[in-house]
Amino acid sequence: MKVKTLGQFIIEKQNDFPFAKGELSRLLRDIGIAAKIVNREVNKAGLVEILGETGETNVQGEAVKKLDVFANDQFIAALKAGGEVCAIASEENDDIIPIDSEISKNAKYVVAIDPLDGSSNIDVNVSVGTIFSIYRRTTLSGPGTLEDFMQRGTEQVAGGYIIYGSSCMMVYTTGKGVNGFTLDPSIGEFCLSHPNMHTKLQGTIYSINEGNYLHFPDGVKKYIKYCQEEDKATNRPYSSRYIGSGVADIHRNLINGGIYIYPTTTKSPKGKLRLLYECNPLAFIIEQAGGKATNGEKRIMELDINELHQRTPLFLGSSEMVDKAMEFMATYSAEKQISQ
Ligand code: P6P
């Protein structure tokens, strides 16, 4: 099969956007460059100098791993150097990073990013990922502001993730389907390997941290029991697969079918995953691939956002599985839902 690189694909698809003058193309290319640099270090994570913790904690109160900091620095540097964004929001930074440079003075976009999701898995060699979301700025000029990020997921220009696993893949959408690119280290290029990705309407995998079972909403408890029932006609019991790295679980479910659920728990009464730079981009991708993403009641991409690190429950994956989980939530947990 003729190899098509990410760069060639982006230029080819640029015609999907008649008014595009190449800024988004360059922005996606900048993200790809940072991803290759991060992948190189993730692959060397077994070496002492970048393992272990910095001793700091991030805004989420989580121990920050050196590779977290490295990945954050790489994406911020690449986005600043590319000149296409006027501000960045990162899981690793309490506040937004306004960009006020000569080359970015006409920047039209802002990027929200989780530079290394699942980083607690770094030291045990489990796949980790980067998740990113791109919006058009809503403010008129100058460095971007918090307001530029307070947009619903439906306003996203692009959403994507990079998974640093058995191979390094970049998967993204600009609203015209989902495409996956695998890094070919021999040429240092992401090459189109999964064109026009679609998830199955129905899968047989459910991904959830059942250690929190006691504190799940009743609807989630009932759905888990439904997944575990014997019923050949509906291929149950399903398989439970939970890696603890959301990008890895969601990527597997995107390809094989399945549902990922991170509901409310006592430790995370509003859910654990963040709306801006995890749930919205992942929801954009899964919807474009024929799946669904809700907070247990409402479509993720229609939730109002009013704080940078806002959390939400997440039910994401094959549409018939999300529908079934929603049925149980409506029947058993409606009154407890965090409605927005
Ligand atoms: P728990 C990683 O921290 C993350 O945000 C997701 O990638 C992952 O699925 C989840 O949290 C793991 O959380 O509480 O099950 O360890």
Nearest CA to ligand 1 atom 13: 244
Which residues fall within 8 angstroms of residue 328, CB to CB, at 6 or more apart? 219, 220, 222, 223, 226
Provide CATH 3.30.540.10 ranges for the chain.
6-194
Please state the rounded mean pLDDT for residues 54-80.
81
Distance 118 CA to ligand 1 centre (A): 6
CA 104/CA 90 separation, integer angstroms: 18
How confident is the model at residue 161, as a pLDDT?
Answer: 98
Q: What are the structure tokens assigned to 335, written together?
A: 């009154």
Please state the rounded mean pLDDT for residues 312-338.
91
**Does the structure show a pLDDT above 80 at 60?**
no
Higher-scoring residue by pLDDT: 42, 113: 113
Provide CATH 3.40.190.80 ranges for the chain.
205-339
185 falls in which pLDDT band (50, 70, 90)?
A: very high
CATH assignment, 205-339: 3.40.190.80
Give helix 66-82 / helix 23-43 axis angle, nearest 10°: 160
Q: Which atom of ligand 1 is nearest to the CA of 62?
A: 3
Mutation choice for ligand 1 from 253, 273, 275, 309, CB with most ligand atoms inside 8 A? 273
Distance 254 CA to ligand 1 centre (A): 17
Smallest CA-to-CA distance from 113 within 261, 278, 298 is with: 278
**Does the structure show a pLDDT above 90 at 53?**
no
How confident is the model at residue 340, as a pLDDT?
Answer: 47
SS3 59: coil
63 falls in which pLDDT band (50, 70, 90)?
A: low
Contact 66, 53 (CB under 8 A): yes
Bridging pattern class, strands 158-164 and 97-98: unpaired
How confident is the model at residue 177, as a pLDDT?
Answer: 97
CA 298/CA 317 separation, integer angstroms: 14
CATH assignment, 6-194: 3.30.540.10
Please state the rounded mean pLDDT for residues 248-268.
96
Residue ranges lining ligand 1, Cβ < 6 Å: 117-118, 209, 244-246, 249, 272-273
Contact 71, 115 (CB under 8 A): yes
Nearest CA to ligand 1 atom 1: 244
Distance 262 CA to ligand 1 centre (A): 8
